[in-house]
Amino acid sequence: MLPESHIVRAFFGEVEVLHSQPCGSGNINDTYLTTFRGPTAEEQQGIFQRLNSRVFARPDAVMRNISATAQHLQSVHYPLGLLTPLLTVEEEFLYRDAQGGCWRAFPYFAHAYAPEHLPTPEEAYEAARAYGLFLSALATCPTPALEETVPHFHDPQHRWAVFQEVLEKDPLGRVAQAKAEIAQLFEHRATFEAVAYLEETGQLPLRIVHNDPKAGNVLLSLKTGKAVAVVDWDTLMPGTLLSDFGDMVRTFAPDQYEDEPGDVRIRPNVLKALEEGFQEVVQPILTPTECQHLSLGARWIAAEQALRFLTDYLSGDIYYKIQYPEHNLMRTRNQLSLLASLPL
């Protein structure tokens, strides 16, 4: 559903909507780039997004986190663009439509793109630096300042427990179709246990992290190739830096997209660029344990994503958008292939 005129006017007053089109390739929220014209007849553009209420059950908490993060980054002279949410004419962060949908608006970063194609080493390096700058700037933000908007988001023990519960219940009778994938995930259970042990013993510091630093959530300049902004702050929460590095590797370094069938391989030159760009910026805040286990973070997040795709498939595809019945099963196979190609 495209944002109707009344939704745009809720944020910008009496304007004429000229054009609106889907934007980005996210699997959770619905995002649109909308062009409109105000009383001055000057054309403007904004990003309008309908939050997925099944995933984000506390949309107001999500917006409080985003606002608090923008204020903190502004106070520490963060060098990249800020994803400051726009207020409605009623000075609210969210507009609720007649169907109960929650809409929000953000500034549009013109002349920028997200490297959602297979990124080059140069793009990977710039993106990794951008995420590193983001995490470094948040290092001085106290973890209690942000709320946990998605409980257990990167909790290895909880993810595994949910998976096993779905396996036992087999609500749609799909377990038989996924026996090979289930067996492969059990082979990687030690990865989840290793991360859980490091967290439970306090060896990994609790930080404010992005939690979804994929290739589609960083913007690079079309003119210079340099980083413009880190976007999609919905999952900003306390967590571990390993998960952010891991998700960068998972989405930048493969030689195929996560929606493609077939064997997946890591591109060594892109992996090296990610490591160099990220560590160049975050080295001053890294602990020895974090530095030692960055590669574990990559294996963990690839395994977790395979687990999440398979859990969703067995549950009836209630979380991720799908294009056909076995879409999440194919995504699972893709991530398992990626996991097999990651260095130990």
What digits encode the pLDDT tens for the residues 70-115? 999 999 989 999 999 999 999 999 999 888 889 999 999 999 999 9
Range with the lowest mean pLDDT among 20-29, 31-40, 125-134? Answer: 20-29
pLDDT digits (tens, 9 = 90+) for 269-321: 999 999 999 999 999 999 999 999 999 999 999 999 999 999 999 999 998 88
User: Using 50, 70 and 90 to split pLDDT, how confident is the model at 132?
Assistant: very high
Residues linked to residue 238 through DSSP beta bridges, in sequence order: 208
Determine the average pLDDT of the residues in 198-219.
Answer: 95
Q: Could you please report the per-residue DSSP string of 99-155? A: T--EEEEEE--TTEE---SS--HHHHHHHHHHHHHHHHHHTTS-GGGS--SSTTTT-
CATH code of the region 5-108: 3.30.200.20
DSSP 283: T
CATH 3.90.1200.10 fits 121-341, yes or no: yes
Pairing of strands 112-113, 218-221: antiparallel
Contact 219, 227 (CB under 8 A): yes
Residue range(s) of every CATH 3.30.200.20 domain in the chain: 5-108
Residue closest to 135 by CA, chosen among 201, 202, 205, 191:
205
Distance CA 265, CA 255 (A): 6
- Residue 309 CA, chain-centre distance (Å), reads 15
pLDDT digits (tens, 9 = 90+) for 226-265: 999 999 999 999 999 999 999 999 999 999 999 999 899 9
For the chain, what is the largest distance between any 2 Cα atoms, rounded to a whole number of angstroms?
62
**Mean pLDDT over each residue of the chain, to the nearest integer:** 94
Residue closest to 185 by CA, chosen among 344, 314, 303:
303
pLDDT (0 to 100) of residue 27: 67
Residue range(s) of every CATH 3.90.1200.10 domain in the chain: 121-341
Higher pLDDT, 57 or 168: 168
Helix (H, G, I), strand (E, B) or coil at 262: coil
Q: Which residues contact 288 (CB under 8 A, 6 or more apart)?
A: none
